[in-house]
Each structure stands twice: as structure tokens, then as C-alpha cells.
């Protein structure tokens, strides 16, 4: 086991491990760490933790120092420069008629580089744009293309559930989501109801999928015939949380409906799922 400090970077929810380097920290404290992009500002979320060696990416880099007031002032100035930098970059993008959507920009802590993040349908030849921006900012320019799901993570927003988007608030990494997950949960397959702000399937479909996938195999199919304590009938609805099925039963030339626990029903169900479900993955 190794002692680590857990930090998060601005606008992200993924935790990163660093060596304490003999320093003591407080939760919410600003620190300066070294990454592949150079020196960066991060915030401490867990001051001290013991982590298994398998969880760590070797070599474990140390925290350079606790952020000073000068570092805080630099971060504030960089944030103030951001809106003007985005405005200028958007003007230059229109000037070069490039099919790209600028979504964010970030100045490095030492002020030697600015990173512009954008989305685009395909590859974009932005060499002339980089030269143009370099002549304006007189520092190194980096353009970074991300996917549409990353756009929602960076910009954030309120999801259909009324809470902050999972990708921006609480989900360190994107999970694989498929249409089969929505089918397992008995949700409407209307794209407008199961899609997030990014237009892709909602990440939260994966949260309870293990339960629903197991429960789905135990449930009779809607439209299937089952035997019940009150006679044979047709399943018209299932409730996978209560593990019950609503059955339509015909008796004496009349129809009536009853809810039964699944264990009280007799039916045969194939363990195989339709092949097309497996193919419809996001």
C-alpha cells in the first residue's frame, strides 16, 4: 500500500493520485502538480489515502507544491482571459470557413500555451488557423478535438432528470451504453426520452443494468401465455422492481386482470435474447 493524495482538475470529476511529497494537505486546498501538459492547478479532494499498488500508474508523480496566492491570482487572470480568447478564436474559425464548433479554451498555468477544445464531424485541417491564432496571442496554440459526449462533460448542464449531467458531475469515465439496457428496463424506446443532452443514450441507463438484466431473464414476456393460480392468461405488463406480472385472464366469457408474483406463474422462456439487441450499441 502507498500513501497518496487524491486531486481533481478544474471542470473534471475524475480523481488522480499523486505522492504527498512529505507535505500535509487539507480538503479543498489548491496544489500545483506536474502532468504531460506541464504544471497544472488542481484541488485536493482526499488529503491522505492508502492505495493499492495496482491502482497506481507508475511512476507516481509528487505534488510540486501547495498553491500560493500568486498561483491563485494567475488562475483568476487566466479565467478572465478565457471569454475574449474564445471570441477571437470563433472569429478566426469563421474567417477560415472551418466546419468546427469551439466549446472551450484553457491557458496553462505558466501562460506559455492556450488549448482550444472543439468538436467536428470529421477531421479538420486547422494549420492555417493555428498560425493565425499564434500571431494574435503570441504563445503556443494547441487545438484539441473531442467527441460529442465530451462536449456535454465540458459544458455541463441540467439533464432530463433535473440534476446535473452525470458526465460533468459524478462520472469519472464514460461507460458503454446500449439500446438493450433501455429494453431490459422496460423504458420507452423514443430517442427523445432515453437520450441525454449530447443526443446519445443516457449514461445512467448503465447504473442499474446488472439488476434489470438479471430480473429480465426471470420475467415472462409481455404478450406471452402463462398459467396462474386463477387460470391461464396473457401477460400484459411486468414490474421488475416488484417482480410481478399483470395477467389478463378470460373466464366465463369475461376478461379480468390480476397482478401475480413471478414465482406464482408458470411459463417457459428462452434464455437467448434477440440478436438485434446485441448490435444496437452506442
* pTM of the complete model: 0.76
Distances in Å between the alpha carbon of 235 and those of 24, 25, 242? Answer: 62, 60, 15
pLDDT of amino acid 278 = 44
Distances in Å between the alpha carbon of 128 and those of 87, 92, 93, 116, 141? Answer: 18, 10, 10, 15, 12
- Please tell me the distance from the alpha carbon of residue 217 to that of residue 1, in angstroms, as a whole number: 41
pLDDT along the chain (282 residues), means of 10: 88 86 90 88 91 78 93 93 95 95 92 93 92 94 92 88 87 88 87 90 91 90 90 92 93 89 84 45 43
pLDDT of amino acid 270 = 53
pLDDT of amino acid 271 = 53
- Please tell me the distance from the alpha carbon of residue 16 to that of residue 100, in angstroms, as a whole number: 31
Distances in Å between the alpha carbon of 138 and those of 107, 127, 155? Answer: 13, 16, 27
The count of C-alpha atoms lying within 13 angstroms of the C-alpha of 38, restricted to the half-sphere facing its C-beta, is 10
Amino acid at each position: 500500500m502507498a500513501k497518496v493524495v487524491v486531486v481533481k482538475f478544474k471542470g473534471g470529476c475524475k480523481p488522480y493520485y499523486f505522492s504527498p511529497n512529505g507535505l500535509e494537505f487539507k480538503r479543498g486546498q489548491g496544489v500545483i502538480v506536474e502532468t504531460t501538459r506541464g504544471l497544472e492547478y488542481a484541488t485536493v479532494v482526499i488529503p491522505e489515502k492508502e492505495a493499492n499498488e495496482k491502482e497506481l500508474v507508475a511512476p507516481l508523480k509528487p505534488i510540486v507544491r501547495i498553491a500560493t496566492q500568486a498561483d491563485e491570482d494567475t488562475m483568476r487572470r487566466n479565467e478572465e482571459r478565457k471569454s475574449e480568447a474564445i471570441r477571437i478564436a470563433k472569429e478566426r474559425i469563421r474567417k477560415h470557413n472551418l466546419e468546427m464548433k469551439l466549446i472551450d479554451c484553457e491557458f496553462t498555468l505558466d501562460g506559455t500555451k492556450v488549448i482550444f477544445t472543439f468538436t467536428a464531424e470529421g477531421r479538420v485541417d486547422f494549420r492555417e488557423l493555428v498560425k493565425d491564432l499564434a500571431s494574435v496571442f503570441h504563445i503556443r496554440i494547441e487545438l484539441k478535438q473531442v467527441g460529442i459526449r465530451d462536449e456535454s462533460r465540458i459544458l455541463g448542464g441540467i439533464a432530463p432528470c433535473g440534476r446535473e449531467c452525470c458526465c460533468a458531475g459524478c462520472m469519472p469515465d464514460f461507460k458503454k451504453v446500449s439500446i438493450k439496457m433501455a429494453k431490459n428496463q422496460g423504458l420507452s424506446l423514443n430517442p427523445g426520452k432515453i437520450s441525454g443532452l449530447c443526443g446519445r443514450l443516457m449514461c445512467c441507463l448503465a447504473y442499474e443494468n446488472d439488476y434489470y438484466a438479471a430480473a429480465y431473464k426471470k420475467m415472462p414476456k409481455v404478450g406471452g401465455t402463462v398459467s396462474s393460480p386463477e387460470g391461464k392468461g396473457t401477460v400484459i405488463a411486468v414490474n421488475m422492481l416488484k417482480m410481478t406480472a399483470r395477467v389478463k385472464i378470460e373466464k366465463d366469457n369475461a376478461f379480468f386482470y390480476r397482478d401475480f408474483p413471478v414465482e406464482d406463474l408458470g411459463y417457459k422462456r428462452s434464455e437467448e435474447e434477440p440478436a438485434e439487441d446485441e448490435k444496437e450499441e452506442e
